[in-house]
């Protein structure tokens, strides 16, 4: 027997981002296959053979298709959970307004905006909305960095950030997920500029590492990992 859903109940993150997670999993397999097309022939060749022919076709195809596949997955997830998307958007507006208020207060306190605008040759400070957006982006990067090294510290960082009401755990984890996904896309993009097949294969494996971190973040609910 299934309980009646609460109108405020949100899907678990692993379900909310199911298409993204599935696509990332497929891309990880593709990265491994692409690297295998380089390392496999080298491993199979006689030790004395030089100039082993390898293929970068899968690597190139992957670097071109990954961004589109990931964008499609995000859109499909949003279409599957319209109520969750509306809730996320409303929450994001609230927390963004809170960060704007905090940034405005800090600029007023320190006179940052006025001082730098009156000094020729200086880079103008970020606007209040820019500061609010940058704060979330920087926090997402910090959480990703800690997530790879010390997950407990990453969770503690999220909990400290949400305490003031300027962020939610979900949007921080989503931002960290986006950063990891982008890092994987950039690793595959960098692969296209490599002239050494082994270096190209390493880019594929680096992308797979970023995508694995993205899966971990996209499926993480803080209640499950405390």
* pLDDT tens digits, 137-190: 999 999 999 999 999 999 999 999 999 999 999 999 999 999 999 999 999 999
Token reading at 176: 């960290």
Q: Where are the domains of the chain?
A: 14-40+56-112+125-225
Give the residue among 65, 15, 62, 5 at the shortest CA–CA distance from 200. 62
**pLDDT tens column, 58-69:** 999 999 999 999
DSSP string, 183-201: HHHHHHHHHTT-SSHHHHH
Q: What is the pTM of this model?
A: 0.88
């Amino acid at each position: 027997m299934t309980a009646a859903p609460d109108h405020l109940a949100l899907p678990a993150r692993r379900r909310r981002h199911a298409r993204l997670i599935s696509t990332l999993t497929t891309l990880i397999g593709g990265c491994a296959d692409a690297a295998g097309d380089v390392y496999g022939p080298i491993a199979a060749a006689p030790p004395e053979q030089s100039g082993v022919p390898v293929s970068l076709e899968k690597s190139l195809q992957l670097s071109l298709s990954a961004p589109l596949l990931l964008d499609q997955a995000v859109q499909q997830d949003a279409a599957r959970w319209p109520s969750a998307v509306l809730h996320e958007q409303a929450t994001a507006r609230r927390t963004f307004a809170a960060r704007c208020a905090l940034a405005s207060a800090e600029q007023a306190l320190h006179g940052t905006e006025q001082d730098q605008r009156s000094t020729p040759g200086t880079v103008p400070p970020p606007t209040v909305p820019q500061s609010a957006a940058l704060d979330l982006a920087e926090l997402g990067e910090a959480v990703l960095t800690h997530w790879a090294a010390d997950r407990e510290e990453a969770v503690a960082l999220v909990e400290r950030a949400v305490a003031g009401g300027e962020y939610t755990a979900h949007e921080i984890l989503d931002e960290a997920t986006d950063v990891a996904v982008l890092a994987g896309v950039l690793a595959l993009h960098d692969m296209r500029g490599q002239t050494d097949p082994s270096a190209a294969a390493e880019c594929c494996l680096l992308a797979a590492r970023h995508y694995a971190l993205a899966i971990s973040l996209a499926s993480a609910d803080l209640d499950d990992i405390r």
